[in-house]
Amino acid sequence: MKPVIIITWLFILLGSILTQAQLKEFEVRQEEPPVSIPIFPSNPDDAAVIIYSSIPDLYFESNTGGIVDIKGDAREGKYILIVRPERQIITVKLRGFKEEQIRLMSLEAKSVKYYSVEEKKILMTTEKGKFILNTIPQGAEFVVDGLPIKATTPYESDEFRAETYKITIKKNGYEAQEIFLEIEPGKIISKTVELTPDILFVDYTSNILSAYSGNEKISNVRFEQDGHSIVIYYNLAGDTQTNYTIEVFMRRTDNPELLINPVDIRGDVGTGRFVGMDRKIIWDIYKQYPNGLGDFRYNIELFMEEESGGLAWYYYVGGAIVAIGGVIAAVLSGGSSAESDTTPPAETLVDPPGRP
């Protein structure tokens, strides 16, 4: 590559880094509703989000396309978003600012939520304060300004600088909540957050006993439920420049021939260069089984095939599945088809993965 091209790319990269570093930040707060709640007769079946702000030209985007109309502006001191009454995430955007999200987890027709959006003031101080965070119920995980804290509530720390932090609180079975906590120098700030039950939550972990792989290159396979998703982690040993095919199945414990093939799945799965630690697969299981997994029990299995043309090894404990050199022998009785209904059918078979 010519020196001129290299220098040009370096300037572009440096400019991108500097631009990111110079971006301003929003400070989003949920506000208490006023005594009188406004009514929008032209949209009787919709909900509303009122955002107080003095920042002009704010742009709002819904991840579900659920914004029906936007009224008002910064000259009026507020933006009024008419939205469909559904779960959605509203992203607040403006050139020169980092994007910020407002999570609308429970909306009903005619309901109104209130927020304020202003520019976040960065306090340049080295002084620290102490904060105590608790939740009802306890045992919630939380993220501080996008940084996960390896602890659960109740939690206390005196290692944070005195400034305002956005804290996102999560606990399975409850709606995620965001709060802003202002830590003051030399003071103790205590906050207790009462979590709202998630009426759509389905506990899948009671049906899933374990996660594993019979392949010696895959290790430390584990899973957890995060909201409506199952998150699977694994380590993969091998050549970092080689493509590997990773597939996920769930096997019924009472009938090992019955497999579930995840549909809404993403992350370090499929074909790619996945060698490394703590690889992550996210399965939106709620979309596939919104009513749960019934009374059946399952184990999650990871299968791996190396693209290099060498031997592909699949194993199943007890010898139900064996594959050598891309040729798979499955000890199955009956036909084979993947499960795709909203509840696990009584008898459904799916072939293990193989070479195309």
pLDDT in tens, 309-324: 544 444 443 333 433 3
220-256 burial: b if 16+ Cβ within 10 Å, else e: ebebebebbbbebbbbbebeeeeebbbbbbbbbeeeb
Instruction: Say if residue 134's pLDDT is above 80.
Output: yes
Q: With cut-offs at 50, 70 and 90, classify the pLDDT of residue 67.
A: very high
List of residues 6+ apart from 42 with CB closer than 8 A: none
Phi first, then psi: what are they for 156, rounded to 5°?
A: -145, 150
pLDDT at residue 326, rounded to an integer: 35
Each residue of 280-289: pLDDT tens digit? Answer: 999 999 989 9
Residues 84, 66: Cα–Cα separation, whole Å: 5
pLDDT at residue 54, rounded to an integer: 87
For the chain, what is the mean pLDDT?
Answer: 80
CATH 1.10.3470 fits 208-330, yes or no: no
Each residue of 179-230: pLDDT tens digit? Answer: 888 888 888 989 999 998 888 888 999 999 999 998 889 999 999 998 889 9
So where are the chain's domains?
24-119, 128-194, 208-330
pLDDT at residue 13, rounded to an integer: 56
Residue showing tokens 């703590």: 278
Q: For residue 174, which amino acid is it?
A: Y
Residues 169, 194: Cα–Cα separation, whole Å: 10
Residues 96, 25: Cα–Cα separation, whole Å: 9
Q: With cut-offs at 50, 70 and 90, classify the pLDDT of residue 38.
A: confident
Mean pLDDT within 18-28: 72
Tell me the fold of 24-119: Immunoglobulin-like (2.60.40)
Mean pLDDT within 58-67: 93
Tokens of 209: 């006993």
Q: In this predicted model, which residue has the larger pLDDT, 348 or 15? A: 15
Which pTM was predicted?
0.53
Intra-chain end-to-end CA distance of the chain, in Å: 38
Return the CATH architecture of domain 128-194. Answer: Sandwich (2.60)
pLDDT at residue 327, rounded to an integer: 35
Domains 24-119 and 208-330 share a fold: yes
pLDDT at residue 243, rounded to an integer: 92
Question: Using only C-alpha atoms, what is the Rg of the chain?
Answer: 25
User: 30: buried, middle or exposed (CB in 10 Å: 19+, 13-18, 0-12)?
Assistant: middle
pLDDT at residue 59, rounded to an integer: 93
Task: Specify whether the CB–CB gap between 248 and 302 falls below 8 A.
Answer: yes
pLDDT at residue 337, rounded to an integer: 37
Each residue of 79-101: pLDDT tens digit? Answer: 999 999 998 999 999 999 999 99
pLDDT at residue 328, rounded to an integer: 34
pLDDT at residue 321, rounded to an integer: 40
Instruction: Say if residue 3's pLDDT is above 70.
Output: no
pLDDT at residue 318, rounded to an integer: 36
Q: In this predicted model, which residue has the larger pLDDT, 102 or 163? A: 102
Of the listed ranges 11-25, 67-81, 305-319, the one predicted with least confidence: 305-319
Q: With cut-offs at 50, 70 and 90, classify the pLDDT of residue 353.
A: very low
**Percentage of residues in the chain with pLDDT exceeding 90?**
42
Q: With cut-offs at 50, 70 and 90, classify the pLDDT of residue 122.
A: low
Helix (H, G, I), strand (E, B) or coil at 145: coil
